[in-house]
């Protein structure tokens, strides 16, 4: 695995699961998208994005044509990708993707929001959720767990989670009303210094409340805004930047 690709041991200890997130380095895009921008929708040169996607997929050894993404709208729609004819498609208005099909890689794009990796090894299911504050408030994790239970009788105790890189409570200041809403729902521990949301802690708390064992939740707590030389950060760049890609698949 290339040095500019980050892995998640809690998931990759299962031989048939591959889970990783790109960084912003190692691509061909020019500033402010330098260099491994993997999103077409941010204003970058499409030819550069296409080259970057080829670079990334080659680094992680997946066929680009088998990569399935959702059209992320900061919502809570979670869908199963169950037909290989969807490979290479962008699924409209979808922020969460699950699959049990070997050969399909599901992915999301982030630049401060949290990529939430899910693996249910004994059922042969993996997935990814795009979790910003709106999706978290709308309980995209709970929606995914409900779909897993309905689709395959998956229990929360069988789910393994990795929370990828995202903005930390050091940098994620929000309005006092929003901070208070999260404080009332989940407790003081998810807020720092009155108005700074801890998205990783919120998601971890939601995992535990849902019944996922703490030993099955891995948090990557490096802040994307503090480390904007390594990661794309919407907040640190005032909104003009690229996107990392997170990918999970069944080998």
Give the residue-averaged pLDDT of 210-216.
97
pLDDT at position 124, please? 96
**Buried b or exposed e, range 218-236, using 16+ CB within 10 angstroms:** bbbeebbbeebebbbbbbb
pLDDT at position 84, please? 58
pLDDT at position 242, please? 98
Q: How confident is the model at residue 207 (pLDDT cuts 50, 70, 90)?
A: very high
pLDDT digits (tens, 9 = 90+) for 165-197: 999 999 999 999 999 999 999 999 999 999 999
Written as six digits, the tokens of 108 are: 């999301």
Question: Three-state SS string across 52-73, please?
Answer: HHHHHHHHHCCCHHHEEEECCC
Asked if the model's pLDDT at residue 218 lies above 70, the reply is: yes
pLDDT at position 108, please? 97
pLDDT digits (tens, 9 = 90+) for 33-71: 999 999 999 999 999 999 999 999 999 999 998 999 999
Length reported for the chain = 251
Question: The tokens 């941010």 sit on which residue?
Answer: 42
Asked if the model's pLDDT at residue 163 lies above 70, the reply is: yes
**Considering only CA atoms, which of 202, 198, 137, 201 is closest in space to residue 169?**
198
Asked if the model's pLDDT at residue 209 lies above 80, the reply is: yes
pLDDT digits (tens, 9 = 90+) for 82-107: 875 554 568 999 999 999 999 899 99
Distance CA 120, CA 160 (A): 6
Angle at 159 between CA 158 and CA 164, to 5 degrees: 160
Written as six digits, the tokens of 3 are: 């040095």
Distance CA 230, CA 22 (A): 10
Distance CA 56, CA 223 (A): 22
* Domain residue limits, the chain: 5-167+215-250
Domain spanning 5-167+215-250, CATH class: alpha beta
Distance CA 230, CA 144 (A): 30
On the 0-12 / 13-18 / 19+ scale of CB atoms within 10 A, 212 is: buried
pLDDT at position 4, please? 78
pLDDT at position 88, please? 57
Q: Phi and psi of 109, rounded to 5°?
A: -115, 135
pLDDT digits (tens, 9 = 90+) for 115-135: 999 999 999 999 999 999 999
Question: The tokens 């929708």 sit on which residue?
Answer: 41
């Amino acid at each position: 695995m290339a040095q500019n690709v980050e892995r998640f041991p809690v998931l990759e200890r299962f031989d048939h699961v591959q889970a990783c997130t790109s960084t912003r380095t190692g691509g061909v895009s020019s500033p402010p998208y330098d260099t491994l921008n993997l999103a077409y929708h941010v204003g970058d040169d499409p030819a550069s994005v296409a080259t970057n996607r080829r670079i990334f997929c080659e680094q992680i050894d997946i066929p680009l044509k088998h990569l399935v993404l959702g059209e992320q709208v900061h919502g809570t729609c979670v869908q199963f990708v169950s037909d290989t004819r969807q490979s290479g498609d962008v699924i409209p208005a979808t922020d969460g993707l699950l699959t049990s099909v070997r050969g399909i890689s599901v992915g999301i794009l982030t630049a401060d929001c949290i990529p939430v990796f899910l693996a249910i090894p004994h059922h042969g299911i993996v997935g990814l959720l795009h979790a910003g504050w709106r999706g978290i408030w709308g309980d995209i994790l709970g929606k995914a767990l409900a779909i897993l239970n309905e689709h395959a009788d998956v229990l929360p105790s069988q789910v393994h989670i990795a929370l990828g890189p995202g903005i930390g409570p050091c940098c994620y200041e929000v309005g006092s009303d929003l901070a208070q809403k999260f404080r009332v729902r989940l407790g003081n521990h998810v807020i720092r210094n009155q108005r700074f949301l801890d998205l990783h802690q919120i998601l971890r708390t939601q995992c535990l409340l849902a019944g996922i064992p703490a030993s099955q939740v891995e948090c990557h707590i490096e802040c994307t805004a503090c480390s904007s030389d390594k990661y794309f950060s919407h907040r640190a760049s005032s909104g003009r930047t690229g996107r990392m890609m997170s990918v999970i698949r069944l080998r």
